[in-house]
């Protein structure tokens, strides 16, 4: 039982590191330098009924 738990731990650590590496790769490819510091705008919408919002 102890050996199985040790293997599961290392497999989990490997999977988490692979996910982290994939996220870093995605952000590098997308050329994301900072999140949330760019120019933004607010969008407001109003409606009298919800019939057309399907």
Q: What is the pLDDT of residue 31?
A: 75
Q: What is the pLDDT of residue 19?
A: 97
CA triplet 32, 38, 43: central angle to 5 degrees? 120
**36 pLDDT more than 70:** no
Domain boundaries, the chain: 1-30
Q: What is the pLDDT of residue 21?
A: 96
What CA–CA distances, in Å, run from 7 to 16, 18, 21? 14, 16, 21
Confidence class for position 13, pLDDT limits 50, 70, 90: very high
Q: Per residue in 10-19, is it b (16+ CB within 10 Å) or e — as a string?
A: eeeeeeeeee
**9 pLDDT more than 70:** yes
Q: What is the pTM of this model?
A: 0.54
């Amino acid at each position: 039982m102890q050996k199985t738990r040790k293997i599961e731990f290392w497999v989990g650590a490997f999977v988490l590191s692979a996910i982290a590496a994939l996220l870093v790769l995605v952000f590098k490819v997308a050329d994301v330098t900072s999140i949330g510091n760019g120019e933004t705008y607010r969008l407001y919408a109003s409606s009298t009924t919800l019939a057309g919002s399907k």
